[in-house]
Structure 1
Amino acid sequence: MVKLRREWGTAGAQLAKWRREPVVLQSVRSAAAATIAYVVALRISPESAPLTAPLTALLVVQVTLYATLTTGVRRVNSVVAGVVVAIAFSVLVGLTWWSLALLILASLAVGHLVRVSEFVPEVAISAMLVLGVTRVGDTAWARVLETVIGAVVGLGCNLLFAPPVWVGAAGESIEDLARRVRQLMLRMGEEAAGRTPVAHATARLHEARRLDHDIIEVDAALKQAEDSLRLNPRVREGLLHRVVLRTGLDTLEICTVVLRVLARSLTDLAKAREPEPLFEPQTGAAVERLLGEVGDAVVSFAVLVTTDVSISAQSAESRLADQLTTAAATRDKLAALLLEEVQRDARQWQLHGAVLTEVNRILDELDTEHRSRRLLEELDRCTREQRERRPRVTRLRRQLRVPRALRRNRNRPTASRRST
């Protein structure tokens, strides 16, 4: 009985995990939307097999509501533009080999003019299908009708069944990247405390370079989360969430770049000092302790960036501040030890100074004041871009705020008379 409960629990957890997967969610939504669009088109469209409607719904339905809206509009524009071009060619020249070539060129040009982005080939495809099936406008406009049906059904599926907010998945990706950075720092610290072969130092350098591919994957997850926050009625402060996650990933990306430079400095130091250790025993122990503390601070920074609850965010910020203070004290101790070591042997003083400088850069990027200043700058930039991109909406908001200001001004004299 206990074993059966465990199996059911494992199966339930696996099912919940599959439900959160974008691929599974996309497949279910697309199949449902395509089926519904086909059923609706059978009742409305004059065609016997209106396959354009499910095809459009299949292409329109996306994982996020923002992507569905933008894709649906471009999809409908591309099909309508292709149909209009096909009707014009059917009236003027008909279907010949040279008119087909002109049709394709004209359709591609019109696709770029109407700005349908990745659906530019769809303009030419729609024009060729319509011109090849018939030279009369009835079937052409039936294709437009089916396209509109598919787009409306696809949009309705995402409106009725609201897509999830993918902030949690993006946050897990950011935290996972931070933990990988920490593990690499720990290995680099352990090797710096002892006799480090050049091959081991080179392997750590290659690991640091491979972090660039991890950042690309995290960036893709973050873009999906940003799209899920746009036009989502369940999110009140979508801009703030997007800016917090984006600036957090930018900081981690800078830290990985500096870590790659640090790994290169340790590799050059291993080549220069082989077969001797990289540092003296006491200095190597300080380097190991410092890299461990900096790695812990990187993970705490990622937790702070991905935490929504205010109480948890405050505890994460205080923990990060304590870790940065501890790491700064260890760095000062390491600086004194490196100065003594350089005074005894100044052959690799440039590399010793580079190690200290790169650690300082990581600590500076993780600093809470630096993060707050960066957040304010990014929020100001995003709001300014929104005002410049949508001047009419900004003007309307200002006009709606005027009556409130007038009401406040009218109430001020009354309050002043009461006070006197």
Structure 2
Amino acid sequence: MPERMRDVRGAMAAPVADLVRRRREPVVVQTLRSTAAATIAYVVALQLSNETAPLTAPLTALLVVQVTLYNTLTTGIRRVNSVVVGVLIAIGFSALVGLSWWSLGLIILASLTVGQFVRVGEFVPEVAISAMLVLGVTRVGDTAWDRVLETVIGAVVGLLFNFVLAPPVWIDTAGESIEGLARRMRQLLLRSGEQLTARTPPEKAAEQLHEARQLDNDIVEVDAALRQAEDSLRLNPRVREGLLNRILLRTGLDTLEICTVVLRVLARTLTDLAKERAGEPMFPQEEGVALQELLGHVADAVVSFAVLVTTQVSANADAAEERLAEQLRAAGVSRDHAARLLLDGVRRDPRDWQLHGALLTEVNRILDELDMEHRGRRLMEELDRGTREQLGPRAWLDRLRERLTPGNSR
């Protein structure tokens, strides 16, 4: 009986533990924040609006509150703009015509057209929706301005909600996505290395190639997580060095994306080699073991690179950098050893020599992308470009101020 009670408690605690574990996931955060903001907006609108059920306010708050503060600001402005434009169009039409099938079609056409010019983004349909809702009521003037008031209430509540309760920064989530991508690449490289000394059927090598191609889907998912992290850094009062964090993650993902392309080409080379060497090992034992060791070093370097990119603490970053440098040195030594063995093997048996050379070339490309000096130059270039973009408007204002200041005109 006590054992059954423990099982029951465990079954009841599992959903709670899962909710606690997922409390920082974007979907969970979005759900809780949107619910709270919409409820608050409805309560405020009940006090300020003449409508008995001012549902426009919670609807606006629901659409305005996003996971990041940057998205909340931009979305709120566009939504309020779309509703106000729609209401103004409805007021203009109500003064001239009533509600009929042709006036409804005309107001929809006008609203959608005007919505494209006022730059409300994805809220272009909201212009037409607002216009139709206002045009369809009897007391157009009062209802129109009540709808504007409710929209403003919802947008303000949504904005204040994110200012008072600042949304989380999704750097850790993006970092986990990047590291997960690197670990999948590592597993693929290790499995590719295991095929080098065995009789690998072409079908099995083709499976590795298909898996390498699937990395493109992983890149898309990681890019979405990174975009969310970049937005969470913008205009967030809790974030320092937002530009540096964005560039570190973005350049890191760019490097891994290039490596996945090269890895796909490498998998294709091994597939072609498996077809040419059907019924026998791809490489002699000594050469295959050397290449397997090389791919193992490359696989570890890919993961170390991802850890370095996503590490925020300077002490841990130094340790990650040293580990990556050591693994790149080991990969370089292993590459040179494998190259000598391959050269000797080609002299004995020149079959498929071009595939051997292609394999080494692809490994070299990955190592070059992971090289510390190459990454350092890339980071400096992106930091300079990002700094110029940030200072661009300020520099323009400084030049304008100088021209307007007496005595500075030429």
TM-score of the alignment, normalized to the shorter chain, above 0.5: yes
Aligned to 1:412: none
How far 1:386 moved relative to its partner?
A: 3.4
In the alignment, which residue of structure 2 is the partner of 1:341? Answer: 345
Paired letter, 2:369? E
Query: Which of the numbers 204, 210, 218 marks the counterpart of 1:206?
Result: 210
Q: Report the more deviating stretch, 66-75 or 375-384.
A: 375-384
Give the TM-score taking structure 1 as reference length: 0.90
Selected match of 1:314 from 290, 312, 318: 318
95-104 vs 12-21, greater mean Cα deviation: 12-21
2:162 matched residue in structure 1: 158
Structure 1 counterpart of 2:25: 21
Report what 2:404 is aligned to: none
Change (3 A) 1:189 1:273: same
| One of 357, 361, 364 as aligned partner of 2:365 | 361
Per-residue deviation, residues 269-299 of structure 1 (Å, max 9, x unmatched): 1111112211111000011101011000000
Please report how far the alpha carbon of residue 78 of structure 1 lies from its aligned counterpart in structure 2 after TM superposition: 0.4
Q: Which moved more, 1:10-19 or 1:117-126?
A: 10-19
> 2:388, 2:243 → 1: CA distance?
12
Tell me, yes or no, if the aligned pair for 2:199 and 2:282 is still in contact at 8 Å. yes
Q: 1:385, CA displacement in angstroms?
A: 3.0
Q: Which segments of 5 or more consecutive residues in structure 2 lack a partner in the other structure?
A: 402-410
**Cα offset for 1:214?**
0.9
Gaps of at least 5 residues in structure 1 are 401-420
**1-structure distance, mates of 2:180, 2:13:** 25
Alignment partner of 1:250 is 2:251:
no
Shift of 1:61: 0.6
Counterpart of 2:186 in structure 1 is 182
**1:382 CA displacement:** 2.1
Find the aligned partners of 2:139 and 2:352 in 1 and give their Cα distance: 81
Q: Paired residue for 1:323?
A: 327
AA aligned to 1:394 is A
1:185, 1:295 within 8 Å by CA — same for their partners in 2? yes
Structure 1 CA distance for aligned equivalents of residues 172 and 147 of structure 2 = 40
Change (3 A) 1:256 1:155: same
Aligned partners of 1:83 and 1:144 also within 8 Å: yes
Superposition map of 1:277-292 within 5 A? 277-292=281-296
- The CA distance in 2 between the partners of 1:208 and 1:136, in whole Å, is 60
Q: Map 1:382-401; keep pairs closer than 5 Å.
A: 382-388=386-392, 391=393, 393-396=394-397
Q: Counterparts of 2:137 and 2:156 in 1: how far apart (Å)?
A: 25
DSSP 3-state at the match of 2:376 = helix
Give 1:26 deviation, angstroms.
0.8
When structure 1 is superposed on structure 2, of 325-334 and 340-349 the one drifting more is 340-349
The secondary structure found in structure 2 opposite 1:329 is helix
Distance in 1 (alpha carbons) for counterparts of 2:140 and 2:228: 43
Q: C-alpha distance in 2, partners of 1:14/1:49?
A: 36
- Contact 1:82 1:107 (8 Å CA) reproduced: yes
2:303 to 299, 304, 324: 299
Tell me, in whole angstroms, the C-alpha distance in 2 between the residues paired with 1:124 and 1:61: 22
Deviation at 1:13, TM superposition (A): 5.2
Show the 5 A alignment for 1:68-107.
68-107=72-111
The equivalent position to 1:146 in structure 2, one of 150, 153, 165, is: 150
1:378 and 2:379 matched: no
For the residue of structure 1 that corresponds to 2:280, the secondary structure is: coil
Check the 8 A contact 2:134/2:140 in 1, yes or no.
no
SS in 1 for 2:177: helix
Aligned identity (percent) is: 71
Tell me the equivalent position of 1:134. Answer: 138
d(CA) in 2 for partners of 1:220 and 1:16? 24
Distance of 1:135 and 1:113 partners within structure 2: 28
| Cross-structure match for 2:407 | none
Q: Which residue of 1 aligns with 2:56?
A: 52
Distance 1:11 1:93 in 2: 57
8 Å contact kept, 2:198–2:280: no
Partner Cα separation in structure 1 for residue 193 and residue 251 of structure 2: 27
Aligned twin of 1:415: none
Contact kept, 8 Å, 1:87 with 1:135, in 2: the verdict is no
Aligned partners of 1:45, 1:61: CA distance in 2, in Å? 21
Q: Does 1:33 align with 2:37?
A: yes
Distance in 1 (alpha carbons) for counterparts of 2:20 and 2:320: 28
**Where does residue 118 of structure 2 map in the other structure?**
114
Give 1:404's aligned residue.
none
Q: Which whole-Å CA distance do the structure 2 matches of 1:222 and 1:172 have between them?
A: 10
Q: What amino acid maps onto 1:295 in structure 2?
A: A
Once the two structures are TM-superposed, the CA of residue 394 in structure 1 deviates from its matched residue by 3.4
Of 42, 62, 72, the residue aligned with 2:46 is: 42
Contact 1:90/1:135 (CA < 8 Å) preserved in 2?
Answer: no
- CA shift for structure 1 position 399: 9.7
| CA RMSD after TM alignment | 2.0
CA–CA distance in structure 1, aligned partners of residues 17 and 219 of structure 2? 28
Q: Give the 3 Å change call, closer, same or farther, for CA 129–12 of structure 1 in structure 2.
A: closer
Aligned length: 396
d(CA) in 1 for partners of 2:360 and 2:298? Answer: 12
